[in-house]
């Protein structure tokens, strides 16, 4: 029906397609993987915790998934994962950069980057660059919080001042800047999506927001928080919509984009700034040693 809310039934079949989903062992990542398997795709669960990934595999039909180790907090692991994927597969139809962290206190990756910036942005930047020539469509999983993000080139690593929520928002803004710059520089097919306000481990671990996460309070919080399977739908639509164009951004279509069926949305104006995006790209290449 014209104008009806988009559901998984509206997604085209993905038979014969290969999707790599980072952070596929929990939360949104599990639901993205489950949805793609239902659509017929083969899904590679790219996860730091292989045991958890294998538990997800056991819950999905045999032969529909595989696992590969990926620790986005370690650039050496990112390179090993990319090498493994390149050795196994000549083509990757979908690369869904979903994994993320929101550190409550400042921590650093193996390579000395602030964890949110290092995992959410730099790790995915490196992985995408290393798989660029094998990949058809890339999906960056951002967040509503990108709206309050800022790119402070004098303190990208939050050494002068750290606030967990701000560092997370900054990394999610960086992902959207990456998307546009990637498309500009390389005529890529990179899109983005955000899950709205979804009940995931990231939400669960953030102070008072644990109340919104608690399943017993689902009835009273459902007007602004949705379950992970609903939060996964904008990402699945970004991955499968045949009409998606480079730079498109999907999110829930309900109140304040917190809940609802997936639609095309717009990021904040700063996420489209080509000057900031170009400078951030150059910094990311320098920090990761990965050149596209």
Of 89, 168, 213, 250, catalytic: 168
For the CA atoms of 173, 195, 124, 122, the dihedral, rounded to the nearest 10 degrees, stands at: 30
Nearest-5° angle of CA 131, CA 233, CA 208? 100
- Measured CA to CA in angstroms, residue 226 lies from 63, 165, 198, 233 at distances of 30, 20, 5, 11
User: HEC states along 170-218?
Assistant: HHHHHHHHHHHHHHHHHCCCEEEECCCCECCHHHHCCHHHHHHHCHHHH
The Cα 111–Cα 58 span in angstroms is 33
In contact, 37 and 43? CB cutoff 8 Å = yes
**DSSP notation for 260-277:** SSEEEE---GGGG-HHHH
The Cα 76–Cα 154 span in angstroms is 26
Closest alpha carbon to 228 in 271, 182, 270, 259: 259
Q: What are phi and psi of 231, to 5 degrees?
A: -65, -25
Cβ partners under 8 Å of residue 133, min gap 6: none
Cβ partners under 8 Å of residue 222, min gap 6: 259
Active site residue 89: no
Catalytic residues: 168
């Amino acid at each position: 029906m014209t104008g009806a809310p988009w559901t998984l039934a509206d997604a085209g079949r993905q038979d014969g397609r290969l999707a790599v989903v980072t952070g596929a062992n929990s939360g949104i990542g599990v639901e993205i993987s489950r949805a793609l398997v239902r659509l017929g795709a083969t899904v590679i669960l790219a996860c730091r915790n292989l045991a958890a990934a294998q538990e997800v595999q056991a819950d999905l039909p045999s032969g529909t998934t595989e696992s590969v180790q990926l620790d986005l907090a370690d650039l050496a692991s990112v390179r090993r994962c990319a090498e493994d994927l390149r050795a196994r597969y000549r083509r990757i139809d979908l690369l869904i950069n979903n994994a993320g962290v929101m550190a409550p206190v400042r921590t650093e990756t193996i390579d000395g980057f602030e964890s949110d910036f290092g995992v959410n942005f730099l790790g995915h930047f490196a992985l995408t660059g290393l798989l660029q020539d094998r990949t058809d469509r890339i999906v960056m999983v951002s967040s509503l919080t990108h709206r309050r993000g800022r790119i402070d080139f004098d303190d990208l690593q939050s050494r002068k001042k750290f606030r967990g929520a701000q560092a997370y928002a900054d990394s999610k803004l960086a992902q959207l800047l990456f998307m546009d710059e990637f498309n500009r520089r390389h005529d890529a097919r990179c899109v983005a999506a955000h899950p709205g306000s979804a009940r995931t481990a990231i939400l669960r671990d953030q102070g008072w927001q644990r109340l919104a996460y608690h399943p017993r309070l689902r009835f009273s919080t459902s007007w602004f928080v949705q379950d992970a399977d609903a939060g996964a739908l904008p990402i699945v639509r970004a991955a499968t919509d045949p009409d998606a164009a480079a730079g498109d951004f999907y999110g829930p279509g309900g109140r304040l984009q917190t809940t609802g069926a997936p639609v095309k949305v717009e990021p904040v104006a700063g996420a489209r700034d080509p000057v900031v995006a170009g400078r951030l790209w150059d910094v990311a290449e320098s920090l990761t040693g990965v050149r596209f």
